[in-house]
Amino acid sequence: MPPRRSARAPPKVPTPPPAATPTPPPAAKAASGKPPLSKARIAAAGAFAGLKPADILKRAKDLGMVTTENVTKTVTHLISTQTAVDDDAPAVRRAVGYSVPIVSVDWLEACEKDDEWVDEAPYVITKGAAPAPAAAPASKGKGKAANGTAGTKRAAANGTAGTKRAASPAPDVKPAAKKAKKADAKADVKTEVKDEAKPEANGHGQKLKKKDTVVPVDDGCRLIGATVHIGDDGTIWDASLNQTNASNNNNKFYRIQVLKLPGGKFTAWTRWGRVGEPGANAQLGGGDVASAIFNFEKKFKDKSGLNWANRLDAAKKGKYTFVERSYEDDSDDEAEAGEGEAEVKEEEEYVPPECTLSQPVQELMQLIFNQQYLQATMASLNYDANKLPLGKLSKSTITRGFQALKDLGELIDDPTLAQSKYDTNFAAASEHLSNSFYSLIPHAFGRNRPPVINTDAMLKREIELLESLGDMKEAAAIMKAERPRDTIHVLDRHYNALGMNEMTPLEHDSKEFKVLSQYLVDTRGATHNVNYEVEEVFRIERQGETKRFDESVFSSIKSDRRLLWHGSRATNFGGILSQGLRIAPPEAPVSGYMFGKGIYLADMSSKSANYCCSYITGGTALLLLCEAELGDPIQKLTNASYTAGEDAKRQGMYSTFGQGRTAPLKWKDAGEATPALKGIKMPDTSKVKPGDTNVDGAYLMYNEFIVYDVSQVKLRYLLRVKM
C-alpha cells in the first residue's frame, strides 16, 4: 500500500514592515541585554548568490561566532536560502528536526552592521514565503528559541535504550499570527495534497533559479574540460529526450547539450541510441556560442516537434518527449564540499565518529538506506536508473507520469474514449498513451518490446513504480548528504534527517512487545501462506503528527480509533518516515485505487505484508501499526467504488470500511499493551481467531480501511519482520 507525498500550502506573504528606524547609539545597545555573539553557533547550507557556505562561516567566525559544518542540536542558527527551504534540502530537514531557526544571510549582515546579536525573527525563512528585502524583511515566520531544542538521546523502553527527542512543535510554514482553527484544519490538509504536484523551482523547464548550480555533462561525453552552457537569463542548454514505440519495438533516447570547451569554443553535443546502450554521438556548430545554440534549437525542434521556448508543451505524436531533469543534488554537493574543505584541518588526523544509535536502530537505518536494495527495487519495476537517476528525477516529471497514467486509466475504464477522444481504436490509443508514459519515465526493457499498458493490473504496477520513486527519491536525497571526513556517523546522519521524535526498540520480554507480536502472528490470512519471525518492534513518533491531529477537525468528531496495519517496500521507508503516509496526487488515475485515493490500512497483517516485497530485501519486511481515526459512523462497502471518498464526505463520513469475508471477529482496548494506547481498538485474538464474517455480497477476501485525510493517521509502531 504505497503512499504519496504531500506538501504544505505556502503562506500568504505578509506586508513588509515600515522602514527601519535609525540604529540606536552604542550606549543603548550595551544596555539591551542581548547575548554575546560568542554564544551563537552557526551552520550554513544552500546555494548563495556570489557566496559559498564556507564564505559565510568565515564571516561568522570573524564576528566571534562559533561555526560548524553540520546541523546538530547545539546549533543556534542555520543560514540558508528560500530555495533550500522550499526544496527541503537535507540540512534544512535536520534544522527543522532540531527546531533550529533557519535565517537568511541578511541576519548575519545585520549582526555585522551592528556588531551585536540582532533579533533573528524578521529574518526567519519559512517554506513558500516570498524573499524578503534586506532592509525590511517581509517574512516574519515563527521563530524558535535558539537553544530550546532537544537532540538525540538514549530513551528507555522497558529498560531498552532507544532513540528519542523531546517533543517539539511541528514544522510550521505559517506566520505565528495565523493559527489554524480546528474547523479549517481539514481544508488545510487537502491543500497540502494538491500542492504536492508543484514542481521544484530550481531548473524548472531548464531555467536556472540558483547561482552556482552544477549541471553535469552527458555521461557519454569524453570532451575533457567541457561544461554545460548556462545563458545570461539562466537558461540551461541541456535537453533529455525519450521516445518509446511499442509496435516498432523502439525505446530510444536523444541527449542535446551546448558545451563550452577549454579555449572558449562552443559545440552542440548530441548523443542518441536505445535506452540502456551507449549509442552514437556527434558535435554540431562552428565553434561560437551562437552557432552552437542554433544547432541545439534546430536539433531539438527536429526531434521533439517543439520549439525550445515551448519545451514544456504536450509532446507531439510520433516525436520525442522532453524530460525535465533536476540539478539540485549537484548544487548541494558543491556547497557541502566547499563547506567541508573550510572545516577540516589538513594536519589533523581524521578519526571516524562513533554511532550514538542503539544497535537495533543502527540496523534499521542500514536496511532503509541501502543502495543495493534501491537499485534492486528499481530493476524489479523495470525503471532505468541509468537513464534518469533518482537524484536527477524531478517532481514535475513524476507528476507528468501520473497524468499519463491517469489518461490510460480513463481509457481502460471507458474504451469508447479511443474513438471519441483519440479518434482511433482501443489498441492504438492504449499504445499511444503507453508510449507517452514510457517516454517520460524511462524503462529498461533491453531488446524486448515495451508492453502496452491496457489492463488494470498493468496500470497499478506503474502507479506503484511512481509512488515508490517518490519515496526512494527522498531516501536518495538523505543518502546524498553523506560526505568524507564527516563529524557525524553516517547512520546518525540518516536518522537525524528523518526528523523523528522517537524510535525506541522494545524489550522482547515486555508486555507491549508480546501483545503487538501476537497481533501480527494471529492475523495471518490462510490464503497468504506466510510465516513471521519478529526481529524488532520500534515504538515511533513522527514529529508534528500529534499536533496535526489535535488541530484538525478529527480531534472533535465521534471517535472510532483503531490500530491498523500498513505495509510498503523497505526502500520506501526513507520517504514514509520523513514525510509521513501520503495520499495520491490529483494527477494519479482514480482507477488505480479500489476505494478512491486515500491511505489504505488493514486489520489482517498478511494483507499489508503482501505489499512489502521482502524478497528484494533479503526476506526482511517492515510493517507499520498506525492509529487511525475512522470516525463513527463509517461508510461500509462490499464492492469497489472509485468514488468512495467523495461519497463518504457527502454523507458526513470520514472513512470507508471495505468489508471482507475473513476478519478478526472481536476487538479490545489496545491499552492492554500499554497505557499510551488506551482508547484505541485492536483485534482480540486471544480466544477467537479471525474467521468468516458472514457479510452478504462481500467481494474482498479481507477487510480494508481507507481514510481520506492524512491528519487521521499517526504512526505508532514499526515492526521489522523476517518472512
Confirm if 38 and 67 have CB atoms less than 8 A apart: no
- CA dihedral in degrees (84, 87, 92, 94; nearest 10)? -150
Report the alpha-carbon distance of residue 307 to residue 552 in Å, rounded. 47
Amino acid at 309: A
Residue 297 known to be catalytic: no
Scanning 267-319, the segments in alpha helix (DSSP H) are 289-304
How many Cβ atoms from other residues are within 10 Å of residue 350's Cβ? 11
Q: What is the SS3 assignment for 674? A: coil
Which backbone phi and psi does 472 adopt, to 5 degrees? -70, -30
Count the Cβ atoms, other than its own, within 10 Å of residue 342. Answer: 17
Render the burial of 40-49: b for 16+ CB within 10 Å, e for the rest: bbbbbbbbbe
Which residue in 335, 328, 329 sits closest to 54, CA to CA?
335
Identify the helix (H) or strand (E) that includes residue 513: helix 511-522
| Distance (Å) of CA 380 to CA 251, 436, 472 | 18, 21, 14
d(CA 615, CA 620): 8
Q: What one-character-per-residue DSSP string does 187-209 give?
A: HHHHHHHHHTTSPPSTTGGGB--
- DSSP annotation of 696: T
392-395 long-range contacts, CB within 8 A, separation 24+? 392/325, 392/326, 392/327, 392/329, 393/325, 393/326, 393/469, 393/473, 394/199, 394/200, 394/203, 394/324, 394/325, 394/326, 395/196, 395/197, 395/198, 395/199, 395/200, 395/326, 395/470
> One-letter amino acid identity for 520?
L
Helices (runs of H) and strands (runs of E) counted in the chain: 20, 26
Contact 306, 313 (CB under 8 A): yes
Q: How many CA atoms lie within 13 A of 382 on its CB side?
A: 19
Residue of 536, 541, 551, 704 with catalytic role: 704
Q: How far is CA 637 from CA 443, 523, 564, in A?
A: 37, 21, 18
Tell me the CA distances in angstroms from 677 to 52, 165, 538, 680, one per residue in order: 49, 20, 15, 6
Grid cell of 529 as nine digits: 501462506
Nearest Cα residue to 466 out of 570, 567, 372, 382 = 382
Give the whole-angstrom CA distance, residue 680 versus residue 673. Answer: 11
Angle at alpha carbon of residue 403, lines to 378 and 582, rounded to 5°: 65
Of 253, 242, 592, 252, which is closest to residue 437 (Cα–Cα)? 242
3-state secondary structure 557-585: CCCCEEEEEEEECHHHHHHHHHHCCCCCC
Question: Among the residues of 614-711, which ranges form H helices?
Answer: 644-650
Q: In Å, what is the CA distance from 723 to each residue of 346, 379, 509, 520, 563?
A: 49, 22, 21, 12, 22
User: Which of the residues are catalytic?
Assistant: 704
